[in-house]
Chains A and B, each alone.
Chain A
Amino acid sequence: MTRTIIQTENMGFTYPDGTSALQNINIEIKEGERVAVIGSNGAGKSTLFAHFNGINKPTSGHIKIHGKPMTYRKEELLQIRQKVGIVFQNPDDQLFAPTVIEDVAFGPMNLGLSEDEVDGRVEEALKLVGMTGLEKKAPHHLSGGQKKRVAIAGILAMRPEIMVLDEPTTGLDPTGVDQIMKILYMLNKEAMSIIIASHDVEMVTQFADKIFVLHDGEIIGQGTTEEIFNDCETLYKAHLRPPKSAELLYMLKNEGFPVNIKLTVDEAYHEILHALGSQSYHNLLHLVKDDLHHKLLHSLGEDKYHELLHLLEENQKDVTSS
């Protein structure tokens, strides 16, 4: 049975100036889960994350780690911060040591580990994020993506059970995004739970298997990726938009077309093909001058072509799941 790592019960947080940042938060994160907290700017995502390792203390309700309510004692906090690693949104907020190696070693040093153990963990963490060989580099010589990877390595070196990342892909180019996502998939494969905060719904669709929608400090929706993105009303209420493909299908559905909401472009493509029928689809290919699909359609015939699309879809699913 998978264990629950983080659980909050009616948790709320109000800043000393009286600003209410979080209200009535009830969430549960289990071992090995990929969770996303989505919400617009100022929704309270970063404030929520600061509760997960005891930086912020709830002003109402409580938070449990491995079923035990947090007591905020010094020794306990050190243990919790080792278990729950937070990667900040801006890597410049996290990388404060003059060299990469010193920064990555900072966490393990605070755990009071032996020097050999620290060396081993630093080496391992840098290898995991593909930054071996850059140990002596100064952080200001690194690119945005590299800084992010070093920030992740700094947390990995503490060997956490759960990794919390605030906007992990913000400000990165597509290659940088791919590299970060690959690292997160790899860590998750090794049973590490990952929580990300983002308003990049396209990325969240691909990554998360459980989503919380946060708006004005409250959870206004939670469920699987399909459940959340099929509920466009909640998304619009949180000032978010569904993925482009889902938005298009949502519009078609509202116009009376017999389509289901699909979250990726490939799935949406196939769904539209079903809805339009082969002849209309054939006409559409003429219209968009798609040679490849057109040739396939002619050479295979409509039925076999359709079958091919199904096979490709199955294959795609296998690749993603493996």
Chain B
Amino acid sequence: MNGVGSVRELERETEKESILHLMDGRVKLILLIFIIVYAVFSTQIVVLAFLELYLLLLIYISHVSFKSSFKRILLLLPFGGFIIAFQPFIHPGDVIWTGIFGLQVTQQGLMWAVLLMSRLIVALTSIVLLSSISPMQEVAQSFRKLGMPRELAMIFSLMIRFLFMFYDELHRIMHAQKARCFDAFNKKIPYKWRMKQLGYTVAMMFLRAYEQGETIYMSMVSRGFSDQSNFYQDRKKKLGTTEYVYIGVTVLLVVCLQVLAMTHFYELGVLGMNII
């Protein structure tokens, strides 16, 4: 799956129709951030397992493809996974395995790694779910409605608009190269030359972005843009029953999990143990 394809695929997911898709963007954004924050502060694996199950249920309700969601989670996992992979070896505790060069795995280190991995999976599932049920423009609107600083909000909105345009631009350049038989992986052609062509492509993208930036600024100025300019905000949408139900269910789940974590989960052994 290349970059262009994945962006378009993600867009198609956001165009599906479900209760979650139709919900107010602010509610989706706040609740998923709420889940991420709660997951980060949780120290019991069982709590994270319940949160993950809840997120999977939401993915099911929103008709988002499980396959593409898992694929995206797997693609993102290595970024945090790399740090987690070291934890069993560097965390002090009871040694459970000794390998070559004196490498030792501790039980506490292993449990810490599992906890971190669980947190990471919950956080990534939340992000994948949010990006699958909310078009990027809706996320930008929600951030603005929630009081994101004007300059940041404008940069964010511009980025969303031109991300797609530059993907199209890149696609066109790649097409033009393919039409003249260019293949970056063709081993019959010198490696250095192929790298040079890829370098030209990136340079061309920067140049076009720069030129486009100049013209866009002119067109914005033409419509009265100044340092005081604001983006329009849709004020018509008000929270409905589904939004309140979603907020209620999520908050209730977190409260129940927290109560159980403090009173009963320790009985579950390793899964319910507090890992610090």
Q: Which residue numbers of A lie inside 8 Å of B, CB to CB?
A: 50, 53, 55, 74, 78, 81-82, 85-86, 88, 90, 92-99, 101-102, 105-107, 109-111, 115, 118, 122, 138-140, 154-155, 158
Mark each residue of chain B from 139 to 180: 1 if its CB lies under 8 Å from any CB of chain A, else 0.
011000000000000000110111011001000000000000
List the A side residues contacting B158 at CB < 8 Å. 96
Chain A residues whose C-beta falls within 8 Å of the C-beta of B141 in the assembled complex? 98-99, 102
Residues A96 and B216 in contact in the complex (CB < 8 Å), given A106-B231, A109-B229, A118-B232: yes
Are A138 and B137 CB-contacts (below 8 A) given A92-B165, A96-B158? yes
Q: Which residues of B contact A86 (CB under 8 A)?
A: 219, 222
Question: Closest B-chain residue to A108, C-beta based?
Answer: B232
**Interface residues on chain B, number (Cβ under 8 Å):** 31
Chain A residues lying within 8 Å of B103, measured Cβ to Cβ, are: none
Which residues of chain A are near B231, meaning CB under 8 Å?
A: 97, 102, 105-106, 109
A96–B160 alpha-carbon span in the complex (Å): 9
Q: How far is the CB of A80 from chain B (nearest CB, A)?
A: 10
With beta carbons under 8 angstroms apart, the residue of B164, B165, B216, B235 that contacts A115 is: B235
Closest residue of chain B to A95 (Cβ to Cβ) is: B161
Q: Tell me, in angstroms, the Cα distance from A196 to B35 when the chains sit together.
A: 55
CB distance from A63 to the nearest CB of B (A): 15
Kindly list chain A residues whose C-beta atoms are within 8 Å of the C-beta of B162. Answer: 96
Q: Are B223 and A107 in contact (CB under 8 A)?
A: yes
Q: How many A-B residue pairs have CB under 8 A?
A: 94
Residue of B nearest to A110 (CB): B224
- Interface residues of A, dominant DSSP: helix
The answer, among B160, B219, B230, for a CB contact under 8 Å with A109, is: B230
- CB of B252 closer than 8 Å to a CB of A: no
- Interface: B215 (CB within 8 A): yes
Q: How far is the CA of A154 from the CA of B225 in the complex (A)?
A: 13
Can you offer 30 A-B residue contacts whose CB atoms are under 8 A? A50-B218, A81-B223, A81-B224, A86-B219, A88-B218, A88-B219, A90-B215, A92-B212, A93-B216, A93-B218, A96-B161, A96-B219, A97-B231, A98-B137, A98-B161, A99-B141, A102-B157, A105-B231, A105-B232, A106-B225, A110-B223, A110-B225, A110-B229, A115-B235, A118-B232, A138-B161, A140-B161, A140-B165, A155-B223, A158-B223
Question: CA separation between A138 and B230, bound complex, in Å?
Answer: 19
